[in-house]
Amino acid sequence: MGRLFGTDGVRGLANGSLGPELALRVSAAAAQVLRRGKSRPTAVVGRDPRASGEMLEAAVVAGLTSAGVDVVSVGVLPTPAVAYLTAIYDACLGVMISASHNPMPDNGIKIFAAGGRKLDDAIEDRIEQLVHEGDFLRPTGAGIGRVLSLSGSDGRVEEHYSEAGTHERYVEHLVEATGRDLTGLTVVVDCAHGAASDVGPAAYREAGARVIAINAEPNGLNINDRCGSTHLDGVRSAVREYGADLGLAHDGDADRCLAVDATGAIVDGDAIMAVLAIGMREAGELAHDTLVATVMSNLGLHIAMREAGITMRTTAVGDRYVLEELRRGGFALGGEQSGHVVFPKFGTTGDGLLTGLRLLARMAETGRGMADLASVVRTVPQVLVNVPVADKAAVAESAEVREAVLEAERVLGDTGRVLLRPSGTEQLVRVMVEATDSDRARQLADDLAKRVAAV
């Protein structure tokens, strides 16, 4: 049996590989592992607006309450909002039901520990073991968890647990973290018909910006449908149509943000991190003058940071590894090329809305357009070849492949980069070569791919 947890929670086809039975077992197991010995633990549960989220939320709530955990259901909110509320409500765990940027038929269960922190491998392994064994705590009588009413009609719920209260607290948190009035800036926000469709435009407006919201009418079926951070044509067109200063595109659970400048040119996660890192360094906010990114960030980002006097730390692919390095080194900014950006001072996970707000704040602070700010990153040509293999481990141990990589690195010197990375889900090895000369990058990538295929 394969590992239950992927790089970001449990994900699959809703009512297929991820059905209500599994959702119940995962949440019951998580409650047992994360309850911190409390006699009356609490969990925060949120979801994105896809239709299957209603079904899976019912199963998650059943699993948590069956394990003796009280549940605060906060409704449709972004993933980083659930992490934030888990922390400020001192809950033992948080559960977000979302498949992020995946198509509508998929869904997922993301679990946060106390403080809104992502789970490490050891805790995921303990939860998975319990799921398979089915040895759950099953309190009875008064020991069964309760669902705390957002309406407060039963008199048991404080005002800050109301749905309006949870949404407002998150918006206030975002605006406080923005650090600057955005009056005078016009922004197009593509909400992907997702979890940020209400709270996203509200946060940008509260910070002072003029907001044109698109794809902000979720119906349960249209999330990520040819919109959002994986389909940028809509936000590019809208920026040009309205003469906006910036376009921002979020994914279904709004933990990502990609940008479009006033000309309609795409500003990816690497350029976003560069703009933010330089601004934070100038303000004395970039701890140890260091930015954390994954190995997939373009060489152009490394060069730009070196020229700006900023050190880069690189991690394996996945925002969880970025988070681990941020915590370990006490750093203040990290992220991925895909648009996950983390500010540890303000949150425990990637927050697309905060990223967008901070980009706008940098524009307001400098009076410069995004095209100008993002020009510090000159993207180096990159070639990626996916090579089917019979045994990924054999490739990693191959002396011939190692020698071929060393030879390619000698050829490139400091003008390029080579990366071989086994896929986490398929029998593939990804061969990536970056070089200032695109023809050389292609030739070296093809040569390495042949060596890998021959193992």
Q: Does 253 show up as a binding residue in the annotation?
A: yes
Any binding-site annotation on 251?
yes
Q: Which residues are catalytic?
A: 100
CA–CA separation, 47 and 59 (whole Å): 13
Long-range contacts, 368-373 (Cβ 8 Å, 24+) = 369/245, 369/261, 369/262, 370/245, 370/246, 370/259, 370/261, 370/262, 370/267, 370/275, 371/261, 371/262, 371/263, 371/265, 373/275
What is the C-alpha to C-alpha distance for residues 13 and 55, in angstroms, rounded to an integer?
A: 13
Is 92:70 a contact under the CB 8 Å cutoff? no
β-pairing verdict for 311-315 and 290-294: parallel
Both tokens of residue 208?
């002072």
Element (DSSP H or E) covering residue 84: helix 79-88
Q: Fill in the DSSP letter of residue 262.
A: T
- Between CA 264 and CA 244 the distance in angstroms is 10
Q: Tell me which amino acid residue 424 is.
A: G
DSSP state of 286: S
- In which order are the strands placed within the sheet that holds 416-422? 382-388, 428-435, 416-422
Tokens of 63: 């699993």
Q: What is the DSSP string of 362-414?
A: HHHHH---HHHHHTT--PPPEEEEEEE-S-HHHHHH-HHHHHHHHHHHHHHGG
CA within 13 Å, CB half, 104 = 16
Distance CA 80, CA 203 (A): 14
447 in a known ligand binding site:
no
The answer to the question of whether 100 is labelled as a binding residue is: yes
**CA dist., res. 350 & res. 344, Å (int):** 9
Q: What are the structure tokens assigned to 348, written together?
A: 């425990």
Q: Which residues are annotated as a binding site for Mg(2+)?
A: 100, 251, 253, 255
* Annotated binding-site ranges: 100, 251, 253, 255
